[in-house]
Structure 1
Amino acid sequence: MTLATTQRRRIALVAPARYPIREPYAGGLEAFCHTLVRAVRSLGHTVDLYAAAGSQGHVRDVELPGISWSRDPLEASDTAYPPGARAAEDAAFHSLARHLAREGYDIVHNNSLTPVLFEHPLPLLTTLHTPALPEVQDAIAAAGPRAGRFTAVSAATAADWVLPRPATVIPNGVDTDLWRPGPGGEAAVWFGRIVPEKGLHLAMDACRRAGIPLLFAGRVGDHRYFSTEIVPRMTGQAATWVGELDHVGLQTLVSQCRVCLVTPRWEEPFGLVAFEAMACGTPVAAFRRGGLGELLTSAPAALAVPDDVESLAAAVHVAAGIDRPVVREWVVRHHSLTQVARRYAELYSEVPTR
């Protein structure tokens, strides 16, 4: 698809407000927003990124406030707010919505987790990255058809929401030029947000049971969880935290590992890390849960019973035997960023402007 077959559009991509959109990314959603902006621009569209202060390549005149836990870092959480922060975030989104309306964008591609944007008359295309959030679900219901169009990162995620019209399922994509294949190695790897719902402690237990050392990377999003569940398991050489890495550092790490563990303890909507690992040729052992289980069912990967350490340890050994070029080729064929950007560009051409 080229601009000869689709109309050039002026797009505002609204990111979530909690963390800056920059490397090292706070999570998969932040990574998705940044990489999609670049990919859609490469197709010839104009894309302005609206994001939290401290982001890279965003519209600096209209920034979202972000979240700061500087007064009490031990209370830091990916879901809670410090006093006053939620009200400030809502006010910022109302201000942003008025700005977007004045600017007259063709599309407002909403990737935020706020209910506020549905209160304003905007040409919305909202990507659903999470299971249904009650406040957002209520705002969509109140807006009705004015809520615009929807996409979801998996069929499982789409099914969790009640929408004015069905969501188009567009799984996320991976920049396969960045996430390049590597030789593998002896250790297993886990990477992502270090929070309870990502289940790192179960990956540590499974690797210990499987007799394979584990390297793990990521941002500590819950300090209590890290101190009570992760630190006690970091004994000897069984598990080593390598810190928070940018994409280049992660690619180097993951491509030199034997297998990648993906261990969600919630109904994971997509699980971008699994596909990034597979783009490196590193086979995945994952819990069969949510959109992740849905999308990996037909993949060269090993799926385990959710929350079952024995099952996961067995899956680690199965995954380690999968041919690395086969793993890489599957992701290139099914989940490349270029394919995803083209699908979004097609949808942009279908969204009525206001």
Structure 2
Amino acid sequence: MKIAVVGPSRLPIAPPFGGGLEVFVHRLVSALRLRGVEVDLFAARGSIGHIQSLEFPGIDWTGFEASARDDAYPPGAMESEAAAYRRVRKLLERSDYDLVHNNSVHPAMLVMDPGKAPPMITTLHVPPQPELQQIVDTLGPSNGRFTAVSRFTADQWRIPTPVDVIHNSVDTDQWRPGPGGQGVVWFGRITREKAPHIAIDVSRRLGLPLTLIGRCVEPPYFRKEIAPRLGPDIRWLGSLPPEEIARTVGHADVALVTPEWDEPFGLVIIEALACGTPVAAFARGGVTEVLKDSPAHLAVPGDVDDLVRAARAALQQPREHARRTAVRRFDIHTMLERYLTLFEGVLTR
């Protein structure tokens, strides 16, 4: 089996990873290659093991740092990104790949000529994007097969064919149990929609120190809501390699997940659980699916008092129980088998 995996274009598939989508692509491609599948990765400049001759230029905010966001572009970047996707699409339309697995959020991939290109599977990692949804509505079943990272995300989109829900995964051999004992951890992208400032409020209400880990995506938000509140009990470590994140998370007593938007999945949840660290979270989007085994750890969205309650409940969970959930439901081998079954089914048909 020879597969072309098309990744996101903004950030490289390399540690320290920019977000959950980049982590997903890295884990899937690595697992497929270990299984002996021939995989070509099309990804942003700076990625590991990708096709460099057709790489995406990525997004460089140098000179425009004050406007930096993961859903915006500096001048000229949108045009260069679109041109790169067109080059990849043209290659795929005349290629000998058996299958294309599309993990991008760019409309160019959905308008490949189905009469020329290999069969394509698109995984939905994000809420509906108007331009993408319009293409899906227009082209119908010729868009190929779709999967989604959660039932919540699948149900947000209008897809003309059944959507396979395949949850994200964690390598439980790399994200190992830790001893806890060092308070609260919050990790992810430092952005308003992820709301780490709420984690600061909850941690202080709990009387526990907080460690923040993650890339600063919105400098104005960080300057206003995070920087003034840092102190002896609140520390920010910035971006870290995965192994350092896993070690720090494993030393925490509880992880907080504080979205002010509907998370498509919530990858940090299963990473924390794999480390034996219980999780308390706002019940938004796919988060409720991930934590369905621990309903007392879910809080009313936006309700800080209820998140404090949920965190106290999570602190009572034995660490081996948290770890068991990650191994049983979200181990990378479970996800890999489901994708391989899907790939083989598409090729058979």
TM range (shorter): over 0.9
Aligned letter for 1:242? Answer: L
Write out per-residue CA displacement over residues 28-55 of structure 1, whole angstroms, 9 at most, x where no aligned residue. Answer: 1101100110111222211111100111
Superposition deviation, residue 353 in structure 1: 8.5
Match of 2:218 in 1: 222
Whether the 8 Å CA contact 2:266–2:290 is kept in 1: the answer is: no
Write out per-residue CA displacement over residues 176-232 of structure 1, whole angstroms, 9 at most, x where no aligned residue. Answer: 001000101131000000011111011111111111110010000010110011112
In structure 2, the CA distance between the partners of 1:353 and 1:103, relative to structure 1 (3 Å rule), is farther
Tell me, in whole angstroms, the C-alpha distance in 2 between the residues paired with 1:133 and 1:145: 18
Structure 1 residue runs without a partner (length 5+): 1-8
Please point out which of 314, 322, 338 is paired with 2:333. Answer: 338
Whether the 8 Å CA contact 1:301–1:322 is kept in 2: the answer is: no
Q: Is the counterpart of residue 298 in structure 1 residue 293 in structure 2?
A: yes
Tell me, in whole angstroms, the C-alpha distance in 1 between the residues paired with 2:348 and 2:62: 41
Please point out which of 135, 139, 157 is paired with 1:139. Answer: 135
Write out per-residue CA displacement over residues 46-70 of structure 1, whole angstroms, 9 at most, x where no aligned residue. Answer: 1111100111111111101111101
How does the TM-score come out when normalised to structure 1? 0.95
Alignment of 1:167-316 (within 5 A): 167-234=163-230, 236-299=231-294, 302-316=297-311
Tell me, in whole angstroms, the C-alpha distance in 1 between the residues paired with 2:200 and 2:162: 39
Higher relative contact order (CA 8 A, sep 6+): 1
Superposition deviation, residue 301 in structure 1: 6.6
Match of 1:35 in 2: 27
Aligned letter for 1:293? Answer: T
> Which ranges of 4 or more aligned residues in structure 1 deviate by more than 6 Å?
none
Write out per-residue CA displacement over residues 76-96 of structure 1, whole angstroms, 9 at most, x where no aligned residue. Answer: 111001112111111111110
Aligned letter for 2:73? Answer: Y
Aligned letter for 1:237? Answer: P
Match of 1:78 in 2: 70
Whether the 8 Å CA contact 1:300–1:326 is kept in 2: the answer is: no
Whether the 8 Å CA contact 1:153–1:171 is kept in 2: the answer is: yes
Between 173-182 and 296-305, report the one with greater CA deviation: 296-305
Tell me, in whole angstroms, the C-alpha distance in 1 between the residues paired with 2:45 and 2:36: 26
Please point out which of 115, 123, 126 is paired with 2:122. Answer: 126
The number of equivalent residue pairs is 345
Whether the 8 Å CA contact 1:132–1:161 is kept in 2: the answer is: yes
Superposition deviation, residue 300 in structure 1: 7.5
Tell me, in whole angstroms, the C-alpha distance in 2 between the residues paired with 1:243 and 1:187: 18
Whether the 8 Å CA contact 2:269–2:290 is kept in 1: the answer is: no
Tell me, in whole angstroms, the C-alpha distance in 2 between the residues paired with 1:211 and 1:131: 36
Q: Is the counterpart of residue 69 in structure 1 residue 61 in structure 2?
A: yes
Whether the 8 Å CA contact 1:106–1:353 is kept in 2: the answer is: no
Give the 3-state SS of the residue equivalent to 1:48 in structure 2: strand
Superposition deviation, residue 299 in structure 1: 3.8
How does the TM-score come out when normalised to structure 2? 0.96
Tell me, in whole angstroms, the C-alpha distance in 2 between the residues paired with 1:204 and 1:212: 10
Superposition deviation, residue 352 in structure 1: 4.3
Give the 3-state SS of the residue equivalent to 1:150 in structure 2: strand
Please point out which of 5, 11, 14 is paired with 1:19. Answer: 11
Aligned letter for 2:140? Answer: G
Write out per-residue CA displacement over residues 300-334 of structure 1, whole angstroms, 9 at most, x where no aligned residue. Answer: 87111111111111111111110000110111011
Between 34-43 and 217-226, report the one with greater CA deviation: 34-43
Tell me, in whole angstroms, the C-alpha distance in 2 between the residues paired with 1:76 and 1:181: 35
Match of 1:6 in 2: none
Write out per-residue CA displacement over residues 229-264 of structure 1, whole angstroms, 9 at most, x where no aligned residue. Answer: 111221x32311012101100011000010000111
Structure 2 residue runs without a partner (length 5+): none
The percentage of aligned residue pairs carrying the same residue is: 49
Aligned letter for 1:88? Answer: S
Write out per-residue CA displacement over residues 148-175 of structure 1, whole angstroms, 9 at most, x where no aligned residue. Answer: 0000011000000001202100000110
Tell me, in whole angstroms, the C-alpha distance in 2 between the residues paired with 1:27 and 1:332: 22
Aligned letter for 2:298? Answer: L
Tell me, in whole angstroms, the C-alpha distance in 1 between the residues paired with 2:334 and 2:48: 24
Tell me, in whole angstroms, the C-alpha distance in 2 between the residues paired with 1:325 and 1:352: 40
